[in-house]
Structure 1
Amino acid sequence: MSLENLKQNASNGKLVLHLDHNAINDVIAACGTYYRALENLKQDAEDLSGYPLGFAEGHLSSGAQLAKAFQQKAAGTATSAAATFKSHMAEIEDMKSLFLAIRDSYQSAEANNANNFGPYDR
């Protein structure tokens, strides 16, 4: 089952889980922490892509070519570190959306079940 299907099933109340409310909140918070770490790594990679690497790139064409190759591994191509971090960030956002949908569906089901039982003093 794809992540999109899991999110849709969670939103529709069709995903059955038993979970600790604090645990799901911890997982959601961890997604945010990991996202920010990836964001920082992506920024570092982008910063490195323009940093002079000391291969005499200013006066040797071979040094400039070598520096450019390494800089492009940091950022600037679809297979660069920055692009990889960005891709991982998108996956983390999808996972966080799934966990939020799970939590919201779980809380809604709990509230609905509690309302169906009625007051305790009957």
Structure 2
Amino acid sequence: MRLARVAHNCAILDADVAELCDGDGRWVTPVTDDAAIGGVLVTADPAGGYAIEVHLVALPVPLHALAVRLQTRIVDAVFELGLLGEVARVHVHVDGLATDPVGDDAA
């Protein structure tokens, strides 16, 4: 699903996102019979359109600012693809904090 790919790409490209969190398979969007996008859940919204949820583990940064920044990036990216009318809402969930920066080789 294009919406899931857009949200996934926006999240993983953010320097303050350590990783996406699939919630042991609860927060995934199937894209084929054999593959799914973990950490992103796209579902039909009762009000119409789709709800996008991004679940992530963040570096220790101001979390509200991170969530707002990701929401904005996702909405902008969806708009650029001409799919904004399909999106009812975007939620960013911080499900954990990374204890070590990604790529930290200090021992």
Q: Judge same fold: TM > 0.5, yes or no.
A: no
Q: Whose Rg is larger?
A: 1
Identify, as 1 or 2, the structure richer in strand.
Answer: 2
User: Which gives a bigger RCO, structure 1 or 2 (Cα 8 Å, sep 6+)?
Assistant: 1
